[in-house]
Amino acid sequence: MTTMSEDRDIPVSGGGPHGGDGTGGHWSAGPGRPLPTPASGPQDRSASGPRTASATSAEAPPDAGATDPPPVPVPPVAGPTGEDIELIRRTLAEIKPVADKVTGHFYALLFLRDPGLRDLFPAAMDTQRDRLFSALLTAARHAGDPAALTAYLSDLGRGHRKYGTRAEHYPAVGECLIGALTRYAHHTWSPAAETAWVRAYTLISQIMIDAAAEDERRSPASWQAEIVSHERRTPDTAVLRLRPDQPYPFRAGQYTSVETPWWPRVWRHYSFAGAPSADGTLTFHVKAVPAGWVSGALVHRARPGDVLRIGPPVGNMIVDHSTDNGLLCLGGGTGIAPIKALVEDVAEYGRRRLVDVFYGARTDQELYDLETMLRLERAHPWLSVHPVVGDGCPVRAAGLTGQVPDAILGAGTWTGYDGYVSGPPGMIRSGVHALRRAGIPQDRIRHDSFETISAFQAPALAGE
Ligand SMILES: Cc1cc2nc3c(=O)[nH]c(=O)nc-3n(C[C@H](O)[C@H](O)[C@H](O)COP(=O)(O)OP(=O)(O)OC[C@H]3O[C@@H](n4cnc5c(N)ncnc54)[C@H](O)[C@@H]3O)c2cc1C
Ligand code: HEM
């Protein structure tokens, strides 16, 4: 088992103006805490060699361990300071124009250092872009809110199990991250900046490792799910119903990651298009984007009987049942899928709350789930569904024309409502702005994640 101290003799990239000492020792000698030492973490117990992300059967949750030794207590990790976060932001601002190069260099260092790790990643690395940096920036943004930080990173850590990521991989990733930054952040890199990054990465990794270890005790890393029905609603939109091979607990409004047999190790996110069902099946709405790998395969190639792999549920766009506030829901395109799940959740919970759904698409035909939403409206007097189609299009069902965010601003006052937004990134951005303008405070607005959007757009999107 690799520990940080064992790692010291593995050269890091070194190189830059304030590069490491070439031993990797700075990771454990820094003024913060050493990088997490996997040997002391609970995940160690079941680390049984690398799995490829395309394993053909889901791992059963290990017996939660009558024979397991009690976990060794890990002292709390000192997180980054406010000054650290500022230094991290400055580094990110400097590398923004060369983000592709930094990312490319990071992966080159990683695969040179540990060629075996290449098998965990998809054949084509083009979609990798800056997701690691994006996640780090999201973590930095949440730094002042430990609960949100832990929730976000715990989801991320649990989600990494399906890739075959193990605790001992984290130091390598950290070293290569620092190596890449050292090389490209010429002006903002300094011993203090390096310390800041080490502290932040150490904290982030520890939260991810702990969450993965905890998850391993009760859940598989991924589920196999057979397609039991496949219905084409428009030429490029399909509704898929899947039956997972093991119980799959999730909350309405969440999403998961999906891998198809045709693109091994290529994972994409899809939202559950309904609240948990009695028969345990899961429904997804998928729109094939032009030249889209996974969406194209799911819409045009997938058939009943095909088996997909799905990761754990993630996301916090869930109904807050502790309040009687109304729900103002904005769904664009397939963004209506999790909104429909929220409506079903409110219906099942049984407490009467006003729910207004603005369902937007460019054309009438693209409102592929309007009939379902109108059926729900007929069944529930507390629900109002407002179809909205792009300017100049004919409108079904006495709907509105224009964009969803404008439509809500023209349609009433929304104080006393919680906001929910789902759809393409641009719509999430404008939807959140519109909800704020409508008087709904930020802490009562929930939306699909920003962290899958580029690190270098995220602060602007979040309005921070
Ligand atoms: C939280 C979350 C939930 C999501 N839920 C759903 C869902 O329920 N249903 C659903 O269909 N999708 C959903 N998506 C989008 C989905 O994850 C994929 O991004 C999408 O299916 C494209 O993947 P792909 O592999 O087919 O395309 P890729 O191979 O990744 O991309 C191919 C090309 O299409 C471009 N592209 C990517 N997305 C779009 C787009 N939306 N419109 C136009 N061009 C695009 C890319 O830039 C690239 O040039 C969700 C995304 C997130 C972050
Ligand atoms: C602090 C540490 C890390 C952070 C913040 C991080 C962040 C991310 C993010 C945001 C993604 C995008 C997909 C998702 O949300 O799951 C991702 C994907 C991935 N990560 Fe990490 N990661 C970290 C450590 C690691 C480690 C140690 C490994 C193991 C080598 C690893 C392997 C992968 C793989 C294989 C993918 C999938 C790639 C793909 O889908 O194309 N990550 N990571």
Nearest to 422 by CA among 332, 287, 357, 360: 332
Instruction: Output DSSP code: residue 298.
Output: I
- Cα 348 to middle of ligand 1, angstroms: 30
CA separation for the pair 342, 5 (Å, rounded): 48
**C-alpha distances in angstroms, 16 versus 27, 107, 189, 321?**
16, 17, 9, 52
Name the amino acid, one letter, at 67. T
Give the pLDDT score at 48: 30
The answer to whether 408 and 328 are in contact (CB under 8 A) is: yes
The answer to whether 181 and 102 are in contact (CB under 8 A) is: yes
> Which is the closest atom of ligand 1 to the Cα of 266?
25
- First-to-last alpha carbon distance for the chain, in angstroms, is 41
Q: Which domains does the chain have, with CATH numbers?
A: 4-38+75-216 (1.10.490.10), 223-310 (2.40.30.10), 326-462 (3.40.50.80)
Residue 8: CB within 6 Å of ligand 1?
no
Which residues have CB under 8 Å from 345's CB, separation 6+?
251, 252, 253, 275, 318, 319
The kind and range of the H/E element at 176 are helix 170-184
CA separation for the pair 138, 459 (Å, rounded): 9
Give the pLDDT score at 204: 92
Give the pLDDT score at 135: 82
Our mutation pick for probing the ligand 2 site, out of 120, 153, 160, counting the most ligand atoms within 8 A of Cβ, is 160
Give the pLDDT score at 174: 94
The answer to whether 388 and 358 are in contact (CB under 8 A) is: yes
Q: What is the pLDDT along the chain (464 residues), one digit of tens a residue?
A: 222 222 222 122 222 221 222 222 222 223 233 444 443 333 332 333 222 223 333 333 333 333 344 444 444 556 678 898 899 989 988 998 998 899 899 999 999 999 999 999 988 876 555 677 778 777 776 777 788 889 889 999 999 999 999 999 999 999 999 999 999 999 999 999 999 999 999 999 999 999 999 999 999 999 999 999 999 999 999 999 999 999 999 999 999 999 999 999 999 999 999 999 999 999 999 999 999 999 999 999 999 999 999 999 999 899 999 999 999 999 999 999 999 999 999 999 977 899 999 999 988 889 999 999 999 999 999 999 999 988 666 666 567 788 888 888 887 789 899 999 999 988 999 999 999 999 999 999 999 765 444 433 444 333 33
Q: Mark residue 404 as left, alpha or beta (left: phi above 0; alpha: psi -120 to 50; beta: remaining).
A: alpha
CA separation for the pair 22, 80 (Å, rounded): 24
The pLDDT tens digits for 127-171 are 555 677 778 777 776 777 788 889 889 999 999 999 999 999 999
* Block residue for tokens 């905890």: 214
DSSP 321-341: TT---EEEEEEEGGGHHHHHH
**C-alpha distances in angstroms, 343 versus 321, 329, 340, 350, 417?**
12, 9, 5, 11, 14
Give the pLDDT score at 464: 35
The answer to whether 272 and 256 are in contact (CB under 8 A) is: yes
Convert 335-356 to b/e letters by CB count within 10 Å (16 or more is b).
bbbbbbbbbbbbeeeeeebbbb
The first and second tokens of residue 447, run together, are 């939306």
What is the CA angle 421-422-426, rounded to 5?
90
What is the CA angle 24-26-29, rounded to 5?
130
The answer to whether 7 and 27 are in contact (CB under 8 A) is: yes
- Cα 374 to middle of ligand 2, angstroms: 40
What is the CA angle 136-140-145, rounded to 5?
130
Integer-rounded Cα Rg, in Å, for the chain is 23
* 237 alpha-carbon distance from chain centroid: 22
User: What are the residue ranges of helices labelled H in 49-169?
Assistant: 82-95, 99-113, 131-141, 146-160
CA separation for the pair 293, 296 (Å, rounded): 5
CA separation for the pair 91, 98 (Å, rounded): 12
**C-alpha distances in angstroms, 349 versus 57, 252, 346, 357, 413?**
35, 11, 5, 18, 25
Q: Whose CA is nearest to atom 38 of ligand 2?
A: 121
| Residues with a CB atom less than 6 Å from ligand 2 | 117, 120-122, 127-128, 131-132, 135-136, 156, 159-160, 163, 165, 169-170, 173, 201, 204-205, 208, 267
CA separation for the pair 272, 340 (Å, rounded): 9
What pTM did the predictor assign?
A: 0.83
Our mutation pick for probing the ligand 1 site, out of 129, 258, 295, counting the most ligand atoms within 8 A of Cβ, is 295
> Which is the closest atom of ligand 1 to the Cα of 296?
26
> Which is the closest atom of ligand 1 to the Cα of 424?
41
Which residues have CB under 8 Å from 290's CB, separation 6+?
none
Q: Which ligand is nearest to the CA of 53?
A: 2
**C-alpha distances in angstroms, 437 versus 10, 331, 402, 431?**
53, 18, 18, 10
